Structure 1
Amino acid sequence: MGHVAANKDSLIKRVKRIAGQIQAVEKALESDADCAKTLHLVAATRGAINGLMEEIIEEHARAHVADPSLSAQARNKGVEELLEAIRRYSK
């Protein structure tokens, strides 16, 4: 997964921000915060996770599906991996 490693620092920063958002949701629940505020925090967290997922999907598609230098077998494997990740994510 070398293509992700090239963008590793950026991805790790995003994950750390998401972790902070999850902690904010936890604190809101623990402190009985207003439900509208809690919903806003959860929606923001979901958006951040969706953005992370989209970025990794795009990287995977470019490196393991669309790269013309790959064999047909390697591209088919890349497609299957991508579809499996999307199926799991959409459940």
Structure 2
Amino acid sequence: MSHLHQNRKILNRIKRIQGQVSSIERTLLTPESSCLDVLQQVAAIKGAVNGLLQQLLEQHLREHVLKGDQNFNEEEMQQYLSLLERYSK
């Protein structure tokens, strides 16, 4: 996965997730925060991690599984990724 260290989109997404996790910690340390605030933040992180997973899977497929494949079909790839996204939520 040496190609991932150069991908700014993935690195930025990870930094946003780190910020969201830090925000949960701050919320938990604030006595007046509600359980609903924490639950909402956790749900947002879950969505962000699912998005990251989707992006990493797509990169892996493109770089390691299908690279150079003469029979590669972009439409089929998008259908597969849509199906994967549907079941990863």
TM-score, normalised with respect to structure 2 = 0.67
Report the alpha carbon displacement of residue 26 of structure 1 after superposing the two structures with TM: 0.7
In structure 1, runs of 5+ residues without a counterpart are 70-89
Report the alpha carbon displacement of residue 30 of structure 1 after superposing the two structures with TM: 1.4
Q: Deviations over 1:17-71 (max 9, x none)?
A: 11110011111111141111110000001111111111011100111112217xx
Give the length in aligned residue pairs.
69
Contact 1:21–1:45 (CA under 8 A) maintained in structure 2: yes
Q: Distance in 1 between matches of 2:6 and 2:25?
A: 32
Q: Percent identity?
A: 39
Q: Distance in 1 between matches of 2:43 and 2:54?
A: 16
RMSD of equivalent CA atoms: 1.9
Q: After the TM superposition, which residues 9-88 of structure 1 pair with which residues of structure 2 at under 5 Å, given as runs?
A: 9-32=8-31, 33-67=33-67, 68=69
- Counterpart residue type for residue 47 of structure 2: G
Which has the larger share of helix?
Answer: 1
In structure 2, runs of 5+ residues without a counterpart are 71-87
